[in-house]
Amino acid sequence: MSGHSTASRNTNRAGVFNVPLFRLLAINLAIGIVVAGLLVGGLLLLNPGGLRHLIFTDRSPWVAVGLLLFGFVVTFGSAAMGSAIMAAGLPRDEDDRGGGPGKMVRQEVGAKART
């Protein structure tokens, strides 16, 4: 009987990734985490205002790096997830003729309109 409950728990875990909204959020969170890591690495590499020197001369530099990374992950992870949610309802077809707020619509100019 315990084998059956373990199998159902594994099925439920796999089922969570089959939900399109959860998968969308997880993918965009991962994108935000990668962007945050690249930006923190870039900040440490470029050393603006002596930031790298300030962090690594401390007694516990990894706490500062962790806090900086955590702030960037929260910021960019939520921005990526939010933009994905807001863009979820937009049409995927590039040639659609609908124009909503803030959307540019391509217009064709005929020979009659030019004269």
pLDDT mean for each 10 residues of the chain (115 residues): 53 73 93 97 96 95 96 97 87 58 62 55
On whether the pTM is more than 0.75, the answer is no
Separation between Cα atoms, residue 3 and residue 45, nearest integer Å: 51
Separation between Cα atoms, residue 58 and residue 56, nearest integer Å: 5
Q: What pLDDT is recorded for position 34?
A: 97
Torsion angle of C-alpha atoms 24, 26, 30, 33, degrees rounded to 10? 110
Q: What pLDDT is recorded for position 54?
A: 95
Q: Are 37 and 80 in contact (CB under 8 A)?
A: no
Separation between Cα atoms, residue 43 and residue 24, nearest integer Å: 29
Q: Where are the beta strands (DSSP E) in the chain?
A: none
Q: What pLDDT is recorded for position 28?
A: 95
Residue 49, Cβ density class (10 Å: 0-12 exposed, 13-18 middle, ≥19 buried): exposed
Separation between Cα atoms, residue 15 and residue 38, nearest integer Å: 31
Q: What pLDDT is recorded for position 87?
A: 87
